[in-house]
Amino acid sequence: MPEAADRSKVETVEPESSPASNRRWIILALIFTITVINFIDRQTLSVLAPELMKALHLSNTQYGRIVAALQFGMTSGEFPMGALMDRWGARLGMSLAVGWWSAATGMQVFARTGTQFGLTRFWMGTGECGNYSGGMKTVTRLFRKRERTLAIGIFNSGSMIGSTIALPLIVFLMQHYGFRTAFLVPALAGFLWVPLWWYFYGREPKIPADIAPKISSREMLKLPESWAVMACRFFIGPVMQFYWYWMPSYLVNVRHMSMTQLGFLGLIPFLLGDIGGVAGGWAAGFLQRRGFSILNVRRITMYGSALLCVTSLLVPHMSTVIAALLMIGVAVFADNFLSANMFGAVTDLFTDRQVGRATGLTGVAGGISGLLFPLLTGILVDHFSYTPVFLLLAFMPLIGTISLFVLAKRQYREMDRAVEV
């Protein structure tokens, strides 16, 4: 990696005592908030899935196609959104992305068929992918290296908070105002967020051109570290997506929970996931402060959490609903812990000028697997059961982690040598 030896020089934040430095925590809170809103958007359809599938007479395979439509939209939009963040900055880029996907979220109110839901979900996906490329861009610019994984863990935990809030919120709205109202609330929240972001983010920080040289998108695709993070997210991404999109249907159809029970007991895995995301970021920072190299920090945190994801194997064999929820919770905790460090690896391997596009590339890889896995899930559930799906979920995180370290081993070792010098 040509720039590996210079990465330690790329520092873009102000001194910690400055007002601008304190403002970065407000900005991080806003990224966390929009991530919460984003995942309420995403979860709305999955929480309503048992009712929608009955009302629209959809099979699991047809529902899988609607889920895949969102992933296809995200796959299509990932790299353009990442390039947008790199070119125009996160202030404008995030504003455009949030406005775009909030409009799509609101349009689901008018959907009357599976095809119409699929089209609006595709539209929504082309914007929602900007959440992570914009968030990663912001964290890389405003936080020091030792703080970045924690910052990523905090804003990424918004995915779990959003999923947690979504269950009781959407069930309440459905039962009291009709299911279509559940699409309006997150859409309105997104539109209200945009002016707050524009005001608090302020002017984009300037990055000295001689410290962070430009690199073309074509050159990025030739870098082994690009393929390392893409392979990693290809296998890790669909795991959490399964729990977002399929867990409500699994708990209602297989574990025979009512919608009211789902609204409360379904919170358990996502609450554990909240803890996992922040814990993953904290653990990385803790190990760095204790003198561990970046390579060893990522190895410990990622291999450890990937092995814990194997608990997914036990879910279909649990005799009670509570036991199944706890096993799902352990797996969600581990996967979110792992995800914080997976995104941290992107900031390890890429400079500020590259991180938006690098995140976009990982999103393309995750989008492709996120497109294929729901289709496979629908087929497996319709023809067999959820058991083979949980088998795949158990080992995909470990495969993704191994892929990262095999493909980017040289880059991490060069980085550690540069720090020692």
pLDDT digits (tens, 9 = 90+) for 63-89: 778 877 887 888 888 778 888 887 888
Give burial (CB, 10 Å; 0-12/13-18/19+) of 349. Answer: buried
Q: How close are the terminal C-alpha atoms of the chain, in Å?
A: 17
Section 393-417 average pLDDT: 86
Q: By mean pLDDT, which of 10-19, 99-108, 387-396 is the weakest?
A: 10-19
pLDDT-derived band of residue 205, with 50, 70 and 90 as boundaries? low
144 versus 399: which is more confidently predicted?
A: 399
The pLDDT score that the predictor gives to residue 418 is 58
Rounded to whole angstroms, how far apart are CA atoms 231 and 191?
34
Section 110-121 average pLDDT: 85
Q: By mean pLDDT, which of 28-42, 292-306, 373-387 is the weakest?
A: 373-387
| DSSP notation for 79-114 | HHHHHHHHHH-HHHHHHHHHHHHHHHHHHGGG--SH
**Domain range for 298:** 4-203+215-420
Rounded to whole angstroms, how far apart are CA atoms 69 and 86?
26
The pLDDT score that the predictor gives to residue 245 is 73
How far, CA to CA in Å, does 359 sit from each of 80, 109, 134, 219, 367? 11, 31, 9, 15, 12
Strand boundaries in 40-180, DSSP class E: none
The pLDDT score that the predictor gives to residue 5 is 37
Q: By mean pLDDT, which of 55-59, 116-120, 195-199, 271-275 is the weakest?
A: 55-59
224: CATH: 1.20.1250.20
Angle, CA 374 vertex, CA 122 and CA 102 arms, to 5°: 30
Q: Which helix (H) or strand (E) holds 323?
A: helix 321-349
How many structural domains compose the chain? 1
Residue 401 has pLDDT above 60, yes or no: yes
Whether 129 contacts 77, CB under 8 Å: yes
Q: Which amino acid does the sequence have at 166?
A: A
Section 105-130 average pLDDT: 87
Residue 204 has pLDDT above 70, yes or no: no
Residue 173 has pLDDT above 90, yes or no: no
pLDDT-derived band of residue 19, with 50, 70 and 90 as boundaries? very low
Q: Is residue 193 part of a domain?
A: yes
Q: Is residue 50 part of a domain?
A: yes
pLDDT, one tens digit per residue, over 20-42 is 567 888 999 999 999 999 988 88
Section 282-304 average pLDDT: 88
pLDDT, one tens digit per residue, over 311-369 is 999 998 988 888 888 899 999 999 999 998 998 888 888 877 777 788 888 888 887 88
Residue 102 has pLDDT above 90, yes or no: yes
Q: Token match 């861009």: residue?
A: 137
Q: Is residue 162 part of a domain?
A: yes
Total Cβ atoms within 10 A of residue 399: 15
Average pLDDT of the chain is 82
Residue 291 has pLDDT above 80, yes or no: yes
Q: By mean pLDDT, which of 174-183, 206-215, 226-235, 354-363 is the weakest?
A: 206-215
The fraction of the chain above a pLDDT of 90, given in percent, is 23
Whether 164 contacts 336, CB under 8 Å: no
Please state the pTM of the whole predicted model: 0.73
How far, CA to CA in Å, does 35 sit from each of 20, 154, 306? 23, 10, 23
Q: Is residue 118 part of a domain?
A: yes
Which among 321, 176, 345 is positioned nearest to 252, based on CA atoms? 321
Name 386's Cβ contacts closer than 8 Å, sequence gap at least 6. Answer: 250, 254, 315, 316, 380
Q: Is residue 37 part of a domain?
A: yes
Rounded to whole angstroms, how far apart are CA atoms 389 and 404?
23
The pLDDT score that the predictor gives to residue 237 is 86
Which among 197, 167, 168 is positioned nearest to 42, based on CA atoms? 167
Q: Is residue 209 part of a domain?
A: no
Which among 248, 303, 305, 297 is positioned nearest to 277, based on CA atoms? 305
Phi first, then psi: what are they for 210, rounded to 5°? -75, -20
Rounded to whole angstroms, how far apart are CA atoms 256 and 386?
14
Which among 181, 163, 122 is positioned nearest to 38, based on CA atoms? 163
Total Cβ atoms within 10 A of residue 36: 24
Q: Is residue 208 part of a domain?
A: no
Q: By mean pLDDT, which of 11-15, 193-197, 202-206, 241-245 is the weakest?
A: 11-15
Residue 11 has pLDDT above 50, yes or no: no
pLDDT-derived band of residue 288, with 50, 70 and 90 as boundaries? confident
How far, CA to CA in Å, does 165 sit from each of 60, 172, 255? 25, 11, 21
Q: Is residue 249 part of a domain?
A: yes
How far, CA to CA in Å, does 284 sit from each of 41, 170, 236, 252, 349? 30, 35, 18, 37, 15
